Structure formats: C-alpha cells, structure tokens
Amino acid sequence: MPRSIVAGIGMYVPKNVYTNQDLTRYMETSDEWIQERTGIQARHYADRLGETTATMGIEAAKIAIERAGITPQEIDFIIFATLSPDYYFPGCGVIVQREMKMKEIGALDIRNQCSGFLYAISVADQFIKSGMYKNILVIGSEKHSFGLDFTTRGRNISVIFGDGAGAVVLQPTAEEGRGILSTHLHSDGESAEILAMYNPGTHGNRWGHFADFNDAEIGEAFMSEAMIEKAQNFPNMNGPAVFKKAVVKFPEVIMEGLQANGLQTSDINMLIVHQANLRISQMIQKLLRLSDDKVYNNIQRYGNTTAASVPIALCEAWQEGKIKKGDLVCLAAFGSGFTWASALIRW
Ligand code: COA
C-alpha cells in the first residue's frame, strides 16, 4: 500500500493586519490582557468584500499545486475544511473546482472546525492508500472576521480568531519509510455546545440551550430577529472549559500516534499543534519535554485560524527550513465538537 506524502504546500493570509491595540477601538480590552492569556499580538482580516474563505483557499492552493509540480487540471479530488464557508450550502470545494477550472472531480467539505485539516488529510490519506486518487488537494481556510462580535460582549472570542488559508497536495510515494505514518481521529459530543455557533441551525431548541427564548421566537425562523438581538448569531465559547480539555487531549492523541508507530517523543523533529492559544502549546511542549527548536508556533502573528492554522504553521516551518526530508513531523489539533486528532508524517 503506498503512503501519502506532502508533495506541495502553500499558504495565504490577507494583507490587513489588526494588532491588539487596534481592537481596543471596538471593545474594552488591552494588548496586555490578550498577550498574557493567549500570546496573540496580531491577526489578519480578509477584505470585507471580494475576499472569501474560498478565494483565500484558492490562493494557498495555487502555491501548493505549483510546488507539487502539477497543474490544477491534474488534481483528482478536493477536500475543503472550514467552519466559515462562503455559503451555508454548497460548500467551498465546488467553488475551488469552478474557479481553478479543474475537471469534474469530486469535492468534499469537512466541518470539523479546529481539527478539520487533520480530519481532511486523514480522509485524503485513505483515498491515496487505497489507490483511488493520486493528487488530492486539501485546503483549510477561514474568514472569521465576517462573523465575530466586535463589541465588548464578544471580546472573549473575537480577540482570538484570525483569517487565512493553508493547502497541501498529497500524492502517493514509492519511497520506503516516507509519508503519513498514521492518523488518529476522535470526538466527544458531550460538550458540543460549549464551543459552538448555534444559528443558523435546525435545532429548534431540541437540545435546550435557549432558556431565554420562547418557542415562538425559536420556531419563527432559521435565524430570527430575536436571535440576532440576543447575539445568537455569533460563536459561543466557554474558554476555561475548552482550555482544560485541550491540555489533556492534545498530549493523549500525540502519544497515541507515537505508540502506534513504536516511536517516542524524543523521535519528534517538529511538533505543530493547532494554534489555539500559546499557553496551550507551551503546556503541551513542556509535558512532552520538547526543546524550542522542535515546536513551531505562529499564533502571535495570526491568532487562531481554526482549520487553516495547522497548514499555515506547517507551511511556514517548511519555508523557514525547519522541516527537512526524513524528519518526523507530528501534527495535532483539538477544537469544537469536541473533536481532536493527530498525524505523524515522515517528511
Ligand atoms: N479583554 C479583556 N478582558 C477580557 C477579555 C478580553 N478580550 N475576554 C474576557 N475578559 C475578561 C472576562 O470578562 C473575565 O472578567 P471577570 O473576571 O470580570 O468576569 C476575565 O477576563 C477572565 O475571563 P476568563 O474567560 O475566565 O479568562 P481566561 O483566563 O480563561 O482566558 C481565554 C480566556 C478565552 C483566553 C482562555 O480561556 C482560552 O484561551 N481558552 C481556550 C480557548 C480556545 O483555545 N479556543 C479555541 C479552541 S480550538
């Protein structure tokens, strides 16, 4: 069975940079609070008009495809991970297919939020191992800025997230030992609502999370005026609860990957975890006893870009020469769902 290698990788971040100080124009917050709690100094926001989750994904994809030495017409399958699609439906994959003038290939959208990219490369890996496809384009992209509450009410969430995209082309390799060694996927829906955007949705309060709404307001529409008035059109997060679960599940799923391959933490050459919070990344690094040169973080400059965060960090680390052929690269993610995942790649 062939293994999958990353044949090409690319990233794109919009040009508009918003520092923590810039955010103080819209809400009560401070550079000190944001840096101390999250490590974030700045994030990029897409142009409000014209730049979308799909267009950013396409920019990253163009670079990944060129670096793989192929053309868009040679891509056999698209997997697009995002929580902020251009449309509620259809997904962004078909927009990529159309805009990049690809053949009438399959296009799959993945909705696994922060672990979306890891789920996406796991799915792609299975298609490659089975021999079904040879060139799979995997994109993680987010335009968070369109849907955050930039008032003080939403400050615990809005300061964290940023926009951007990353992409890889996965191909089979005949080279012994190289490629994706294994992927490990998990979920626990018990806490589905503590990091979620409820609307627009079909829930009809079935899960009982709208105590302050009456049935008429909830049944009124997919997204009613009452919901907008009560800020139910924005993401909702219990930050401390997410933090506590993340610092347990990240090391667990990394160790699962290492054990499945008979490897140890000391074998890791580069660890890239989903950029949720610098404090979370630092706790994982400490637990795994990894030196600074074996961990790559860029949340300071981009914030949390959800499905895009792992491919953006992977791309930057590779561009900076921090990942070389033969290195053991460990990717891991945790987020809304909860879902979490890891992947080990012999580069
Ligand atoms: N600026 C200033 N103050 C803020 C603020 C902001 N942007 N956001 C929240 N606060 C305030 C709160 O209102 C609260 O005030 P109070 O004590 O007067 O009630 C105080 O800061 C502490 O809030 P809390 O939510 O307990 O802070 P925290 O230390 O847990 O930090 C997060 C908040 C969100 C940074 C942190 O919980 C976190 O990073 N969690 C993980 C989130 C995550 O990774 N999400 C993505 C998952 S993939």
DSSP 8-state class, residue 196: E
**Angle between the N-to-C axes of helices 53-67 and 92-99, in degrees from 0 to 180, rounded to the nearest 10:** 60
Q: Are residues 108 and 135 in the same domain?
A: yes
Q: Are residues 29 and 128 in the same domain?
A: yes
DSSP state letters, 285-322: HHHTT--GGGB---HHHH-B-GGGHHHHHHHHHHHTT-
136-142 sheet: strands from edge to edge: 3-12, 164-173, 136-142, 77-81, 106-110
Q: Has residue 10 been placed in a domain? A: yes
What single-letter amino acid sits at 82?
Answer: T
Whether 114 is a known active-site residue: answer: yes
Ligand 1: atom nearest CA of 23 is 7
Nearest CA to ligand 1 atom 42: 239
Quote the number of domains for the chain: 3
Nearest CA to ligand 1 atom 28: 240
Q: Are residues 40 and 129 in the same domain?
A: yes
Note the pTM of the prediction, 2 decimals. Answer: 0.96
pLDDT value of position 199: 86
pLDDT value of position 221: 67
Q: Given the DSSP bridges, would you call strands 77-81 and 106-110 parallel, antiparallel or unpaired?
A: parallel
Q: Are residues 258 and 118 in the same domain?
A: no
Whether 274 is a known active-site residue: answer: yes
Instruction: Give the CATH number, domain containing residue 252.
Output: 3.40.47.10
List per-block mean pLDDT (blocks of 10 residues) for the chain, which spans 347 residues: 96 98 97 97 95 98 98 98 97 98 98 97 98 98 96 95 98 95 97 92 81 69 74 89 96 98 98 97 97 98 98 98 98 97 98
Q: Has residue 295 been placed in a domain? A: yes
Nearest CA to ligand 1 atom 14: 156
Q: Which domain holds residue 253?
A: 179-191+237-346
Tokens of 20: 């923590």
- Residue 222's Cβ-side half-sphere holds a number of Cα atoms within 13 Å equal to 3
Q: Are residues 164 and 209 in the same domain?
A: no
Q: Has residue 306 been placed in a domain? A: yes
pLDDT value of position 107: 98
For residue 150, give the H/E element and its range.
none
Q: Given the DSSP bridges, would you call strands 164-173 and 42-45 parallel, antiparallel or unpaired?
A: unpaired
Whether 209 is a known active-site residue: answer: no
pLDDT value of position 259: 98
Q: Are residues 163 and 309 in the same domain?
A: no
* Closest by CA position to 334, among listed 187, 146, 183: 187
- CB-count burial class (<10 Å; 0-12, 13-18, 19+) for 293: exposed
Under a CB-based contact definition with an 8 Å cutoff, are residues 165 and 60 in contact? yes
Q: Are residues 152 and 64 in the same domain?
A: yes
Rounded distance from Cα 126 to ligand 1 centre (Å): 38
For a mutational test of ligand 1's pocket, the pick from 23, 34, 37, 152, i.e. the residue with the most ligand atoms closer than 8 A to its C-beta, is 37
Q: Has residue 26 been placed in a domain? A: yes
Q: Has residue 197 been placed in a domain? A: no
For a mutational test of ligand 1's pocket, the pick from 156, 278, 309, i.e. the residue with the most ligand atoms closer than 8 A to its C-beta, is 156
Q: Has residue 196 been placed in a domain? A: no
Q: Are residues 164 and 79 in the same domain?
A: yes
pLDDT value of position 201: 85
pLDDT value of position 329: 98
* Closest by CA position to 311, among listed 86, 162, 141: 141
Q: Has residue 159 been placed in a domain? A: yes
Q: Are residues 29 and 127 in the same domain?
A: yes
Q: Are residues 311 and 229 in the same domain?
A: no
pLDDT value of position 220: 64
Is the minimum distance from the CB of 243 to ligand 1 under 6 angstroms? yes
Q: Are residues 39 and 155 in the same domain?
A: yes
Rounded distance from Cα 270 to ligand 1 centre (Å): 29
Q: Are residues 146 and 269 in the same domain?
A: no
